[in-house]
Amino acid sequence: MIRTLSGATFRSVFGTAKPVKDITTRRLHSTYDVAVVGAGIVGLATVRELILRHPSLSFILLEKEKELAVHQSGHNSGVIHSGIYYTPGSLKARLCVRGATLAYEYCEKKGIPYKQCGKLIVAVEQEEIPRLQALYERGMKNNVRDLSIVDAKGIREREPYCRGIMALNSPYTGIVDWRMVALRYGQDFKEAGGTVVTESEVNDISMVTESPAGSTEGMKYPIAVRDKQGNEVRCRYVLTCGGLYSDRLSQISGCSREPRIVPFRGDYLVLKPEKHYLVKGNIYPVPDPRFPFLGVHFTPRMDGGVWLGPNAVLSFKREGYKVYDFNARDFADALLFRGLQKLVMRNITYGIGEMYRGIFIGAQVKILQKYIPELSRSDVLRGPAGVRAQALDRDGNLVDDFVFDGGVGDVGSRVLHVRNAPSPAATSSLAIAEMIADEVESRFAL
């Protein structure tokens, strides 16, 4: 774990004119060249990239939670994706392929454990084979490493308990603890001289009209970033990587409400320890283009466990990991949004099925048995859940590309919001960080 300043410490530090030393003996002050808001894996990777490129500048990272990387970065399947699914030549495809390479290199360099256990995308029906072959062609165009098609015998050689007609074999796919990776990004940032403040929930970003009291630097730091506790940081530029709250953060500086973040919860089942032998690597279904999500799959974990799932249902709270978690504002924002209404109407049957399978484990197991017939209801337990920040436009389309925004007025020229960093953001995090850093450099005079 990397040690950080809490919001209480932040208040006491920035409420005095005396310089105070933090855990890296670096002098704290209330002015910085760049403030980054949001310490998920994208924010951590990006602030690390920026400080490594610009070591002479001062950076502060603000996070609303007590710890770093506790939401999407700490609630995910842990897969290192290889880049099969994405449109050839698209930004997502290029970032995923490069990101996977960078992730493996980073884990090797930093001594972070990972397993390159591979993945099978398995066709169990004849009608799935054309889609599987199309995926193979797509993966080859994306330069996915070591991709091949295997028959039923090849499936059994790699996954003895898996049954299928044909499969796409991706040995380059792996698993890792992405939160461990994210925390290491944060450690790199601290070691390079960056400042991290936790328990600082930003609720205002605005231009100021006068310099800080006692300052001799004039209006060098014209942006004020304030949190709910009343703490204030002055800076030259602001970058936000808000994840589940990226739309709300961007509205602070006058951006449009769209694309809107709609939270979808994914509930996993876990395989009982005595049944772990059934799964060696990742086993995925052939995705159905009629539906917006990949479908349930088998995912081994770094701790030796095996997760099954997830489903995809609307979460009634943006950070709601339990079925009964509820937040009135989050619920109303989602339910009243025209884009979600249109998405639901187009996928009503699929959505009802997802909710049903979330309630009745046996229904989920029935789907999983198509791939591993030996699996039974008694072999699984309810497991953890994650919440995905899905960006939607007003027409109900999933926003699958990156969205940057600044805002209106003078503040818009000094603020950059990362409004959407689509899946697989963890796999692509180092490549995404390069792209965001390039965007920052193109907009701001660092």
The listed CATH number (3.40.50.2000, 3.40.1280.10, 3.40.190.10, 3.50.50.60) that belongs to domain 29-78+177-259+400-445: 3.50.50.60
pLDDT, tens only, 387-412: 999 999 999 999 988 889 887 778 88
Give CA–CA dist 287/291, Å, rounded. 8
Same-fold call for 29-78+177-259+400-445 versus 260-398: no
Mean pLDDT of the chain: 90
Confidence of residue 2 (pLDDT cuts 50, 70, 90): very low
Confidence of residue 216 (pLDDT cuts 50, 70, 90): low
CATH architecture assigned to 260-398: 2-Layer Sandwich (3.30)
* Tokens matching residue 267: 């509930």
Average pLDDT over residues 172-186: 98
In this structure, which long-range contacts are made by residues 370-375, counting pairs with CB atoms below 8 Å and at least 24 apart in sequence?
Answer: 370/124, 370/163, 371/122, 371/124, 371/162, 371/163, 371/164, 371/283, 371/285, 371/298, 372/161, 372/162, 372/163, 372/278, 372/279, 372/283, 372/298, 373/163, 374/161, 374/278, 375/275, 375/278
Lowest mean pLDDT among 54-63, 207-216, 363-372: 207-216
Percent of the chain with pLDDT over 70: 91
What pTM, to 2 d.p., does this model score?
A: 0.91
Confidence of residue 24 (pLDDT cuts 50, 70, 90): very low
Average pLDDT over residues 67-80: 95
Give CA–CA dist 433/13, Å, rounded. 30
DSSP category for residue 125: S
pLDDT, tens only, 226-242: 999 999 999 999 999 99
What is the enclosing helix (H) or strand (E) of 315? none
**Cα within 13 Å of Cα(332), Cβ side:** 3
Output the pLDDT for position 217. Answer: 66
pLDDT, tens only, 286-313: 998 776 677 889 999 999 999 999 999 9
Confidence of residue 22 (pLDDT cuts 50, 70, 90): very low
Whether the per-residue pLDDT at 198 is higher than 80: the answer is yes
Q: How many CB atoms lie within 10 A of CB 209?
A: 8
The domain limits of the chain are 29-78+177-259+400-445, 260-398
DSSP category for residue 395: T
Whether the per-residue pLDDT at 26 is higher than 90: the answer is no
Whether the per-residue pLDDT at 10 is higher than 50: the answer is no
Average pLDDT over residues 93-107: 97
